[in-house]
């Protein structure tokens, strides 16, 4: 059986990734493809426990390296328990955030730098990489304004300062420009349906057989 394809959705706060992940999952399933829709941090029981440590509480509760290690610990649990088994069984995986988020938020945002994150990624992922990464881009002020309306306790990153989020945005765009074969930047300021259409065009253009 052919292994499944691995698609990740990335971007800053309020970029609409989760809405687009749902729309993409529905579109792939409508084509008769088996799909696992998942997210990070989280996506497996142990990883969801670690998620609470990361997305709740005071912005300064961890230093950048501790935070990166926690994200990779959660990711390792997720990869082992869910992503690799799904891909091996022929399932397509649509993942809301993955290792590019650690590069953008901890590597660029917190200033850990690319080499530290690349080292942790190599150790944790053992060559696993997405087949396609959609990078949703929008101005920081717009994203934070959208995210501000959300309910719940998961606001730790939203409360980080504006400069942090500007570094994250620039980081995602740098990641995309370094790997144009894997990444497609999507204008997240467009209306939702137009963004979904751009997502499906990218999937069709980059992943044959979808
Ligand atoms: P979410 O809001 O998309 O569910 O993601 C939770 C938060 O975690 C979001 O503010 C970005 C942050 N994050 C990182 O800082 N590094 C990571 O590696 C991941 C996966 C998420």
Residues 49-105: tens digit of each pLDDT? 999 999 999 999 999 999 999 999 999 999 999 999 999 999 999 999 999 999 999
Q: Is the dihedral of CA 57, 58, 59, 63 positive or negative?
A: negative
Residue labelled with tokens 């997240």: 188
* Cα 72-103-116 angle, rounded to 5 deg: 75
Could you tell me if the CB of 40 is within 6 A of ligand 1?
yes
Give nearest CA residue, ligand 1 atom 19. Answer: 101
Rounded to a whole number, what is the distance in angstroms from the first to the last CA of the chain?
15
Could you tell me if the CB of 20 is within 6 A of ligand 1?
no
Could you tell me if the CB of 157 is within 6 A of ligand 1?
yes
Find how far residue 148's CA is from the centre of its chain: 19
Query: Could you tell me the pTM of the whole model?
Result: 0.97
- Strands 92-96 and 35-39 come out as parallel
Q: Quick one: what percent of the chain has pLDDT higher than 90? A: 94
């Amino acid at each position: 059986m052919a292994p499944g394809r691995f698609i990740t959705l990335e971007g800053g706060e309020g970029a609409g990734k989760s809405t687009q992940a749902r729309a993409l999952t529905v579109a792939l399933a409508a084509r008769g493809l088996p799909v696992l829709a998942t997210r990070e941090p989280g996506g497996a029981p142990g990883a969801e426990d670690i998620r609470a440590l990361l997305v709740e509480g005071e912005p300064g509760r961890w230093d950048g390296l501790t935070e990166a290690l926690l994200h990779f610990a959660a990711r390792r649990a997720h990869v082992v328990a869910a992503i690799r088994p799904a891909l091996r069984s022929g399932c397509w995986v649509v993942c809301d955030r993955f290792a590019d988020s650690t590069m953008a938020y901890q590597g660029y945002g917190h200033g850990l730098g690319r080499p530290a994150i690349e080292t942790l990624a190599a150790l944790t992922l053992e060559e696993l990489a997405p087949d396609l990464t959609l990078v949703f881009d929008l101005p920081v002020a717009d994203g934070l304004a959208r995210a501000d309306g959300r309910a719940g306790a998961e606001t730790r990153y939203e409360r980080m300062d504006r400069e942090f989020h500007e570094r994250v945005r620039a980081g995602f765009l740098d990641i995309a420009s370094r790997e144009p074969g894997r990444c497609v930047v999507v204008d997240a300021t467009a209306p939702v349906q137009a963004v979904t259409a751009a997502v499906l065009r990218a999937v069709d253009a980059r992943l044959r057989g979808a």
